[in-house]
Structure 1
Amino acid sequence: MINEGLRGAIELLIEEGENKYIKEELYGAAYTNKNLIRVEAPVARALETTTLTSLVDYIKENVDLVAESNIIVHIESYNKVSIKKELNVDKRRECLVTAQALTPGIITDRFIDPERFNIMLQSAFVENEDRAKLLKVSGNIKEENVKSIGDDGVSQSAAIKTGVASVTEVVIPNPVILAPFRTFPEIKQPESKFIFRMQTGPACALYEADGGAWRNVAMESIKGYLKARLEGLDNVKIIS
């Protein structure tokens, strides 16, 4: 029969053995009796902005002493750019600033009434020749004449009002070249092809027809803008 003193000693030895961290090497592999969690170095919460100008100012004004370290300007997409530091001791990259472009809502791939379509063209698209043609149609199409809309599979024609009582049939070419506000205001908005369609109701719709190639054009324009304004700063690398 084990006395109380011996029992206490045995329990103490067991407890110490359980709490002790043990590392053993066996056949070239390392084994431990506990899972350890690494305490990672803290990182800053990214400052959020909406323009490319703010990124340039942040770097040139040496906010947070960025001039003392290597930084990366990462063009993540056509409407998002971030400033990141070099890898830290945990191989993590700290994000200092993120710029997300503010762009108006553009409705594509579905039909909307001519009034909404007209407003969208004027408020969310750069003025050009094709935009003017679409505005002429969407702003003057006569509801009683929608049945006269013609379609050859590529171009459509519609009866529109050209005066107080006169009606003229116009042909809308396809595709049309338009430049919606889709990226940062500091750069030229990229143009791309759209298919313009009409249907009875009346209703109008735009469908993207360039496979998203405009995104690459926008990213290259962002890169060119930043390179020109950050020229001579050897600690800054721009990637896209």
Structure 2
Amino acid sequence: MEIKNSFLADAINTLAELGKKAAEPEKVDINGRRFMVTGGSCTEIEPLELPKPEKVNTRSLNALVVLIKSEVDSQTENPPLYVSCNTYGGVEVFTTPNPEDDLHRWQPYHATASDLPPLVEDVRWSFDEAMIKLRSMFQRAPEGEKNDVDYILDLLSHMSFDQSVKSDDNGITQTVQVRKGVSFVENKAVRPIVTLAPYRTFQEVEQPESEFVFRVYDDRSISLTAADGGMWKMAARSIVKDYLEDALQDEIAAGKVKVTL
């Protein structure tokens, strides 16, 4: 009777051990991914997130270039760093996918153009507003040269202050009557299209020029309407790309950095 009880106890213990082992979780690696298998269930184990420095936001291309030059070797073990001029007022820097971090890309830096005036798309300004904003919101010509900002300012400066401006506008060309001196009036044709470069991207670079429909009204106010279909945005990105390629030419030559649109 004791032998039978001993045999039965051993069998029960053996089955209990087998059941216990079957219930114990087991880690299994499949194609670089780790799973926890417990009985009939399987759960993927999320990889530990690798520590990364905080993303740095800059407000100028100069600061971005300094950061890349001084830290490019420490930011990634798998060069290059990609510098993307993805908007007319923003540059993003990101790494190649990291195989040890679930192929995530890290974005260490971002530059955003700051302290820019409002976009000039479709505006109408009074005489006083125009005299101020044309001087403050648009890139002027180099010293000794003139551009269409000077043309508009010169036209405004000859408008009479003691009477309204007379204009003749057929929708294609416009003629305004302005006072010349104090004794006689002169008819002066107004160019319907002007080329201007408002401040719209990083101030370290030349501002992209674009065409505007220009009109003068009887109360001496003026209007400017963008007429290039937004192509200036692509021009701005190309100008920023050229600036960065010139500033980072050593890093680009060494294969550490790639600059893209």
TM-score tier, shorter chain, comes to 0.7 to 0.9
Whole-Å separation in 2 of the counterparts to 1:182 and 1:163: 37
182, 200, 208: which one aligns with 2:226? 208
Contact 1:44 1:94 in 2 (8 A): no
Please report how far the alpha carbon of residue 179 of structure 1 lies from its aligned counterpart in structure 2 after TM superposition. 1.2
Q: Deviations over 1:17-60 (max 9, x none)?
A: 9xx98685xxxxxx86x898776545543212122111111111
Gap regions ≥5 residues in structure 2: 1-22, 24-35, 141-145
Q: TM-score, normalised by structure 1?
A: 0.76
C-alpha distance 45-201 of structure 1, shift in aligned 2 (>3 A): farther
**Aligned twin of 1:191:** 209
**Aligned twin of 1:8:** none
129, 138, 147: which one aligns with 1:116? 129
**Aligned twin of 2:167:** 149
Whole-Å separation in 1 of the counterparts to 2:52 and 2:39: 31
Whole-Å separation in 2 of the counterparts to 1:106 and 1:92: 35
C-alpha distance 98-110 of structure 1, shift in aligned 2 (>3 A): same
Whole-Å separation in 2 of the counterparts to 1:114 and 1:23: 82
Whole-Å separation in 2 of the counterparts to 1:42 and 1:181: 39
Cα RMSD of the aligned pairs, angstroms, is 2.9
Matched, 1:59 2:77: no
Gap regions ≥5 residues in structure 1: 1-16, 25-30
Q: Which amino acid aligns with 2:130?
A: F
Whole-Å separation in 2 of the counterparts to 1:160 and 1:173: 15
What secondary structure, in the 3-state scheme, does the structure 2 residue paired with 1:93 have?
coil
Instruction: Kindly tell me the number of residue pairs found equivalent between the two proteins.
Output: 214
Contact 1:195 1:206 in 2 (8 A): yes
Contact 1:178 1:191 in 2 (8 A): yes
82, 86, 96: which one aligns with 1:86? 96
Whole-Å separation in 2 of the counterparts to 1:227 and 1:185: 17
What secondary structure, in the 3-state scheme, does the structure 1 residue paired with 2:189 have?
strand
C-alpha distance 108-23 of structure 1, shift in aligned 2 (>3 A): farther
Matched, 1:131 2:149: yes
Whole-Å separation in 2 of the counterparts to 1:173 and 1:42: 60
Contact 2:94 2:109 in 1 (8 A): yes
**Aligned twin of 1:6:** none
Contact 1:114 1:139 in 2 (8 A): no
Please report how far the alpha carbon of residue 106 of structure 1 lies from its aligned counterpart in structure 2 after TM superposition. 4.1
Q: TM-score, normalised by structure 2?
A: 0.70
Please report how far the alpha carbon of residue 152 of structure 1 lies from its aligned counterpart in structure 2 after TM superposition. 1.9
Work out which of the two has the higher radius of gyration on C-alpha atoms and give 1 or 2.
2
